[in-house]
Structure formats: structure tokens, C-alpha cells
Amino acid sequence: MKLQAGRSEESLPDKEAYTAAEAVAEAERCLYCTDAPCIQACPTSIDIPTFIKKIASGNIRGSARTILEQNLLGYSCSRVCPVEVLCVGSCVYTGWGREPIQIGKLQRHATETVGALTSLYTPKPKNGKRVACIGAGPASLAFAGYLALEGTEAIIFEKRSVPGGLNTTGVAPYKLKADDSLREVQWILDLGVEVRTNTEVHPASLVNEYDAVFIGVGLGDDSKLGVPGEEGPGVVGAVDWIEQMKLGTAKAGKRVLVVGGGNTAIDVARECALLGAEDVALVYRRTKKDMSGYAHELLAAREEGVRLVESSVVTGFVRDAAGKLVAARVKTGEAEREVPCDLVVIAIGQAKLRAVAEQLGVALDKRGCVVVDDNCRTNQPKVFAGGDCINGGKEVVNAVADGRNAARHLLKEWA
Amino acid sequence: MADLSINFAGIKSPNPFWLASAPPANTGEQVMRAFDAGWGGAVWKTLGDPILNVTSRFAAVDLGTYKMMGLNNIELITDRPLDVNLKEMYEVKKRYPKHALIASLMTETKEDWRVLIKRCEDVGVDGLELNFGCPHGMCERGMGSSVGQEPKLITEITSWAKEFAKTPVLIKLTPNTGDITEAGLAAVAGGADGLSLINTIKSIIGIDLNKMVPFPAVAGASTNGGYCGPAVKPIALYMTAALAREQGIRNTPISGIGGISNWKDAAEFIALGATSVQVCTAVMHYGYRIVGDMIEGLSEYLDAQGMKSVEELRGRAVGAYREWGDLDLGHKLVARIDDKSCIGCQLCVTACHDGAHQCIFTGREEKQRPPHAHAHGNATPPTPFRVGAIAGERLPWVDEPECVGCNLCQLVCPVPGCITMQEVPGGKHETWNDRTREGRTKLPGGIHDV
Ligand SMILES: Cc1cc2nc3c(=O)[nH]c(=O)nc-3n(C[C@H](O)[C@H](O)[C@H](O)COP(=O)(O)OP(=O)(O)OC[C@H]3O[C@@H](n4cnc5c(N)ncnc54)[C@H](O)[C@@H]3O)c2cc1C
Ligand SMILES: Cc1cc2nc3c(=O)[nH]c(=O)nc-3n(C[C@H](O)[C@H](O)[C@H](O)COP(=O)(O)O)c2cc1C
Ligand code: SF4
């Protein structure tokens, strides 16, 4: 899996990795707490102090093993997890007013140093079971990977041309670039998982062919504002634009407006700023304190020059005779003004993908999320689901936890 | 996967990791939890006639933010009744037949030793460890290190124990002695089946300068305690190696103790001749859970080295531990400073000037060599002048003809890998012992030279 060169995301900076000595020095700082709060804060409950102490002792393979036994996508998670509000945020050092342990960077050090999963694990002999997954995002990859380790044949159908889900197509490049996501996908495929890209399947038949089916389709298209002038060049959906920036050559404009207040909105704003836009403004309908995006992300965006325009909505777009975007109409309170811009990115959420679930006879809740039990099983006994399609859009690590839990449950049932 | 199991003088253990005789091995409930966590064996907290303890009992040396670099204690042997301990030991052995359970013993008369040994063996222990090492309290009563410091007593009591014991007898030695091999040989002379070392080192950890009382304070006074923990590892390693290479001890297995906190520490003891290792302070600090990394780390290490068992590692480094007189005088190293990673702190400059041989300099000018210099003329900066990536013109330079290769600059450098010691080829192999044999030990500038 090799992506073409010259993609826009390649010009964005990378997160800095630890050198081996730096990792050991940081690992030595870990207090090795009992019943550690970081473990509880991790949706996959990685035994964090143990993996860190193994870095300190030089048992790097053991460290990676401790991570991966709970989180098979420990590598991408180490780079994309919002650690500030998860493990790192709960470090006892934080409460004490000291610098918390850099758990994400340490986790990256262990998983990246060890690399291929096959260097740690040999999948068990075939257990005669076969499963199919729909969508090759983190949820399905975790599900398929854990089952493959135990000898289950796993196949993933992916409608896009590349696997990895939003890890490949959506996550901010300064956290994880597409080729790094694909590198991790390959580690999982090497366990014997098959992925068929460019394949949108007819799920109904799968239930008969396989011992279990996993729905990991994530979310759908970007929602629209539904205001005059929205259709046409210059106004794009956030997830769509990000995908084209990561896998293609989509550029930031000179003057960019990003509409929304969530993490996707903040991501796009930062990405545009880093790609060289002269002015980037986040237009949010309420105030800063209401934003669903993380405070640390907003802070980072503002450090990169992103402006926040609070309590404002976009009511329409102004285009010239040729249809080119010229400005957006921004309404703050009663006042409405035209803000000149050449790119507007709409980041107000994504639609739910209902079709797959409906074809399988799987129940959805009011919001359109797949309904599952504690083991991620749907109302159809052979059908499981996990990730954004059950929670409406959380983090990669939640998707991994779902896939893993479903796999563990099936293995227990089959045992 | 390498085989971690060991056979220590007939005592079988699934791995070389044993709890040392100390608080972590006080009770059956603890030892069973430790075995569940992965420990291969345990040496029970020393048994003997009941004692009384004081509070407080421990004090420690911290190193920066690292707590308990060294630990000092003034605790005595078990404070629990013997029959309670024995009942629990029986229970442990019954539930964990494959693990090594060793009774640590300390008492006085020959008859006491006979009874104590019999009662322990009756509950099924796999071996006995005679505690000749406790350097506080018990030694004032003629036991512990006061035995371990007297080779004659070591031999005598060991031979008593051998007379009564059916299981292997290990002698736990005290480091509070001039020559550890003397103590080791004395134990072997008494028939010891194995040697354990080190027990704690006599110490005073510090003083409360306001109250003028040493730590740990007991109602306005204190006493010397026993020192252990990471700080004592180098001493314990040396003593292990000294026994391992001693002709008369070579065939006696050694249980290495002292500052072992992880698999690397353990591997070092094994490479210097230990068959098993024992741990106290690290468990007191972090709990039984540390054994998980010890087992996994050692096993990974053995696999990476292509070794199939712990036995293959045992003693591998003993051969490279030599007398000073056998070291190669022709071997020459000089320090090299990496211009990319140097951060310009110049700690090496100060260290070399004040603590070594005045041969690291800064700046573009020639420098006057110190009076003791071996080379002639001034030290000249490298041309072209090297400018560091981070350090800029603060990048120091080494006057190589004057560098004695002592390592000090590398040791003080905060940046890993920045200062490396480079070998200068062409030195002729020669040792001091070679020179002695050839009668070339007289060097110019001696006491009688004028
Ligand atoms: C812009 C953006 C940035 C984000 N940044 C972060 C971050 O920094 N950190 C973080 O932890 N989380 C982040 N998230 C959230 C995270 O990416 C998701 O929670 C996670 O990827 C969900 O995983 P998933 O497996 O459920 O679905 P997805 O990753 O969405 O994968 C679903 C896959 O299914 C495929 N698919 C859909 N329908 C079909 C079908 N019918 N047939 C075949 N294939 C199909 C899709 O093409 C896709 O590849 C971000 C999300 C977005 C939108
Ligand atoms: C609190 C404490 C109590 C100890 N009690 C005993 C004991 O009863 N018998 C004994 O042989 N050694 C005893 N020791 C010594 C340990 O067994 C061990 O030899 C020493 O601590 C060195 O190992 P370490 O550096 O891993 O702690 C004790 C040590 C400590 C810290
Ligand atoms: S560690 Fe336990 S026994 Fe010791 S002082 Fe603290 S509470 Fe008391």
C-alpha cells in the first residue's frame, strides 16, 4: 500500500518521537501507581504503568506486548488519542501541579520500535471460524486482528480505495499521516486478515456465509448548512476536504472560514493555517465555553493564528458571475456582514450510515446509531457493530475497544 | 522461549527470581500472592526465637526524584511465633509444590539449630538459609553478622547445620567483612550447599540536624542499620563475582542479592555467576508485580542472545573479571564530542579541568597545556574550527594527545551518545603482570629518583 507523492498533507509537520534515551528518561519518571488512574482513563484499559516500566527496564518488546494485548492499534492511538483528556490528563502528577508523564509519546516509542505485530505474535492454527467486516476502520481492524491471532479467518470489505478508515483519511496529519496509518494496517493484515478495497458489499448474504459479521462503517457524508449559495466551488464539507488534503492535493484557500465548534472544525482550521492560509476564522454559533472541541486543541489552533468568531452563523454565500466564491454572509446577533473568503469548510457533523444496518435487519436508535449490548452484539445474534456507527462519533480508541470486546466475546462463545 | 527454570543445589524453581528473606516474605498470604504474580521462590523472613521490634524501622536515601535509591532498616528477624510461621509454610508448600520455599534461620546453640532445622524440614521446605548477615540488633546478641564476620564460626555452625539437615543448606553472607572470599570459603569448608549474598551493609542513613538524631529515629535515638536497595548493587555484584571466580567456591551455587530491581540487574548477577537472585527493596517499593517484567525481560534477552536457558548465561562475564595486573596497558581511548548532539552545557569542560586531565577546551584560541602535560607545546583547536548544531561556538574540543581516556566527561554528559570513547589503534598489548615477569616495573620519577 503506497500512496502517491505530492499529497498536501506531506508538507505538514510530524509529531516528534522520542529517542531511546529520552524514552527511558521519561519512563523513569513514572511513579508506577497502584490501581493507576491512567489505566481507568484509557478506553482500552492498557496497563500503562507496566508498559512504561518495561521501557525503563529495556524490555521494549514486552512493553509493546502489554500495550497491544489491550489495544491492537496501540501505535495509531499513541499518536491520535486526545491524551490530554484521557490517560495523561488523569496522571497523578497533573493533580500535584507537576508535568504529567507523556504516555502517548512513550506508547508510540514502544509500538513504533517493535513495529510489525508478526515480530511479537504468531497467529494460532485455524479454528475453523470465518468472520466478515464491513468497513476497514479501526473498529473492524481491531475486531479482525484479535480474531486472526486466535486462528479465525477474517475478511474486511472496504468501499474506499484505501483501508484504515478515518485513521487514514481523516486524522490531522500533524498527528498521524496516511502512510503511517497504512503501515499499521499492514501489521494487522500480516496476521492473516484479508482486506478487499473498492468493495461495497451486499450485507444480507454475508450472514449466511460467515460465522459472524461486524459492522464498522463509521459515519457518512458531511452535513450541510442548507443556506443559499452553498452548492458550488469553494464550499466544502470538512471530512471530504480533509480526505482530499490527506490523499490528494486539496489546498487551503487564502482566506478560510471554518463553520463549526467541534474537533473536526478545529482540525480543519489548524490544517489550513499550517498549509499557509493567510487568515483562518472559526465561525461558531455559540460561545467558546459551549464548543465540543477540546480546549487544548483550540488553544493550539489559536497559537497557529486561527481566529475564533463566536455567536455567529453563516446565512449564505456570495458568488461572482462565474460562480466563484467571494464572501460568506456572517450574522452575529442582529448584525449581518459579508466576510470575504475563498474557501469555506463546513464542519457541523456527519450523517449516519443506515443502509448497511437496515439491510441486515439491525436495529438503530433515534439518532441513527446501531443499538448494541455490552459485547457490541446487535439485535441480530450473528451481527456485531462498533466504532462511530454505534456511538455517533467518538475517538479511534473507542472504536478499537468495541472491536476488541466483540472479538473477545465471540472467542469466549466459541471456546 | 528460553528455559528459565533452575536447579539450585537440588532446589528446583520455575525461574531464578526469589523473594529475599525480609518483609515481603513475612507471611503465607504474602508468599502465595507473590507466587501467583510469578515469583519462582521465596526465602521466608528469618525464623528464630521471638523478638521485639522498634518503630520507626526504615529510612532511605532519595536520588533527585527517585525515591529509595538506598534503604536502611533496623528491623530484626520475624516477630511472629514460630508455630504460626511453620503452619503457613506448610500450607504454601502444599499449594505451590513446584515453587521453591526456603526457610531462613537464625539462632544460637547447636541444640537450637537442631530443633529449628528439624521443625522447618518437617513442614516440607525445600532448603535452609542460615542468616549470618544481619548487621544490626541480632549481631549485638552474637548472631547474624557477628557470625558472618568470623570465618571459624561460619564453618562451625555450617557444619552443625549440615549434620542435622536433609535439605540443601545455603549460607547467607554479610558484606560487612574485609574479604568476602574468606567467608565464602569458610562456609564451603563447613559443607555449605549454596551461598546467598549480600545481606545488608552496616550504615547510618543521615542525621536530623535539628534534633541531632540519626534516622530512623526511635524516641530520640537511633542505631546503625542495614543498607540495601539499588545503591548497593555494585557492591553485591562485586562480591558475587569474587566468589564465582574463587577456585574453592566455583562449584557452589550462589544466590545473588542486593539492589536487584529488574531483569537487567538479575541478568548481570547471573552473568557474574549467580544461579538464583533474591529481591527485597524493589518489592517493598513497587510490589510483587515487578516480577512480570523480570520474567519477560530475561526471557526476551536470552532469546535475543540465542541462549536456551538461564544456565547458559550463568557465569558468562566471570572470565572478563580479572586482576588489574592482567589488564591491557596498550589499550588507548580518547573522548570524542559529537557536534550534532552537544547542547553546549560544558559540564565536560569543568569535569575534565577540575576532576581529570585538563584536556577539554572551548574557543578558537590555542590553549596552554597544564604542567603535567605529556605532549609538547600548546593545545591547538581543530581546523577548521567545529561549530555545533545546537551548541554553536560553545562546542568544546578535546586535546586528544592529552586525553587519558578516563570516561569522566562521558559520565557527566547529560546527552546520551554525545560523548563517545574512541579507540586509538596501534597500542602494543602489555600488562603490568607481563612487566613484572620481565622485571620492568621500575618507572622514572620514583621515590628514590632525584
Ligand atoms: C476529521 C476527523 C478527525 C478525527 N481526529 C481524531 C483524532 O485525532 N483522534 C481520535 O482518536 N479520533 C479522531 N477522530 C474520530 C475517529 O477517526 C473515529 O472515531 C474512528 O475512526 C472511528 O472508527 P470506525 O472504525 O468506527 O470508523 P471509520 O474510521 O470511519 O471507518 C469506517 C470505514 O468504513 C468504510 N465504509 C463505510 N460504509 C461502507 C460500506 N457500505 N461498505 C464498505 N465499507 C464501508 C468507510 O469507507 C471507512 O473506511 C476524528 C474524526 C474525524 C472525522
Ligand atoms: C526491612 C528489611 C528486613 C530484612 N530482614 C531480613 C531478615 O530477616 N533476614 C535476612 O536474611 N535478611 C533480611 N533483610 C535483608 C534482605 O533479605 C536482603 O538481603 C537485602 O535487603 C538486600 O537486597 P535488596 O537490595 O533487594 O533489598 C532485610 C532487609 C530489609 C530491608
Ligand atoms: S507502610 Fe503500613 S505499616 Fe508501615 S507505617 Fe505505613 S501504614 Fe504503617
* Mean pLDDT for chain A overall: 97
Q: What is the pLDDT of residue A199?
A: 96
Ranges of each domain in chain B:
6-320, 324-360+397-446
Q: What is the pLDDT of residues B198-236, one digit of tens each?
A: 999 999 999 999 999 999 999 999 999 999 999 999 999
Does position A12 have pLDDT exceeding 80, yes or no? Answer: yes
Binary contact (A58, B264; C-beta < 8 A):
yes
Q: What is the pLDDT of residues B14-58, one digit of tens each?
A: 999 999 999 999 999 999 999 999 999 999 999 999 999 999 999
Out of A28, A29, A62, closest to residue B297 by CB = A62
Does position B297 have pLDDT exceeding 90, yes or no? Answer: yes
Q: What is the pLDDT of residue A389?
A: 98
**CATH superfamily entry for domain B6-320:** Aldolase class I (3.20.20.70)
Pocket probe for ligand 2: among B19, B200, B223, the residue whose CB has the most ligand atoms within 8 Å is B200
Nearest CA to A208 among A404, A357, A360? Answer: A360
Q: Which of A1-15, A225-239, B187-201, B224-238 has the lowest mean pLDDT?
A: A1-15
Taken in order of first residue, the domains within chain A and their CATH numbers are: 20-119 (1.10.1060.10), 130-220+351-414 (3.50.50.60), 235-346 (3.50.50.60)
Q: Are A354 and A362 in contact (CB under 8 A)?
A: no
Out of A19, A34, A53, closest to residue B293 by CB = A53
Q: What is the pLDDT of residue A386?
A: 98
Q: What is the pLDDT of residue A291?
A: 97
Does position A213 have pLDDT exceeding 80, yes or no? Answer: yes
Q: What is the pLDDT of residue B386?
A: 94
Q: What is the pLDDT of residues B374-403, one digit of tens each?
A: 889 999 999 999 999 999 999 999 999 999
Q: What is the pLDDT of residue A204?
A: 84
Binary contact (A59, B263; C-beta < 8 A):
yes
| Residue A160 Cβ contacting ligand 1 at under 6 Å | yes
Q: Which residues of B touch A51 (CB under 8 A)?
A: none
Q: What is the pLDDT of residue B30?
A: 98
Q: What is the pLDDT of residue A148?
A: 98
Q: Which residues of A touch B297 (CB under 8 A)?
A: 54, 57-59, 62
Q: What is the pLDDT of residues A150-207, one digit of tens each?
A: 999 999 999 999 999 999 999 999 999 999 999 999 999 999 999 999 998 878 889 9
Strand partners, A335: A332
Q: Which residues of B touch A65 (CB under 8 A)?
A: 296
Q: What is the pLDDT of residue B450?
A: 81
Q: Which three cell numbers stand for residue A185?
A: 494496517
Q: Which fold has domain B324-360+397-446?
A: Alpha-Beta Plaits (3.30.70)
Q: Which residues of A touch B414 (CB under 8 A)?
A: none
Q: Which amino acid is at B405?
A: G
Q: What is the pLDDT of residue B135?
A: 87
Q: Which three cell numbers stand for residue A50?
A: 507496566
Which of A28, A32, A33, A57 is most worth mutating to test chain B (most B CB atoms within 10 A of its CB)?
A57
Q: What is the pLDDT of residues A306-354, one digit of tens each?
A: 999 999 999 999 999 999 999 999 999 999 999 999 999 999 999 999 9
Query: How far apart are the CA of B413 and the nearest CA of chain A, in angstroms?
Result: 13
User: Which of the four pLDDT bands, split at 50, 70 and 90, describes residue A2?
Assistant: confident
Which of B1, B63, B300, B301 is most worth mutating to test chain A (most A CB atoms within 10 A of its CB)?
B300
Residue B316 sits at the vertex; the CA angle it makes with A56 and B434, to the nearest 5 degrees, is 120
ipTM exceeding 0.85, yes/no: yes
Q: What is the pLDDT of residue A312?
A: 97
Q: What is the pLDDT of residues B72-88, one digit of tens each?
A: 999 999 999 999 999 99
Does position B134 have pLDDT exceeding 90, yes or no? Answer: no
Q: What is the pLDDT of residues A249-292, one digit of tens each?
A: 999 999 999 999 999 999 999 999 999 999 999 999 999 999 99
User: Which of the four pLDDT bands, split at 50, 70 and 90, describes residue A1?
Assistant: confident
Q: Which residues of A touch B (CB under 8 A)?
A: 19-21, 28-29, 32, 34, 50, 53-54, 56-59, 61-62, 65
Catalytically active residues of B, by annotation: 134
Q: What is the pLDDT of residue A351?
A: 96
Give the chain A residue whose CA is nearest to the CA of B341. A19
What is the average per-residue pLDDT within B166-194?
97
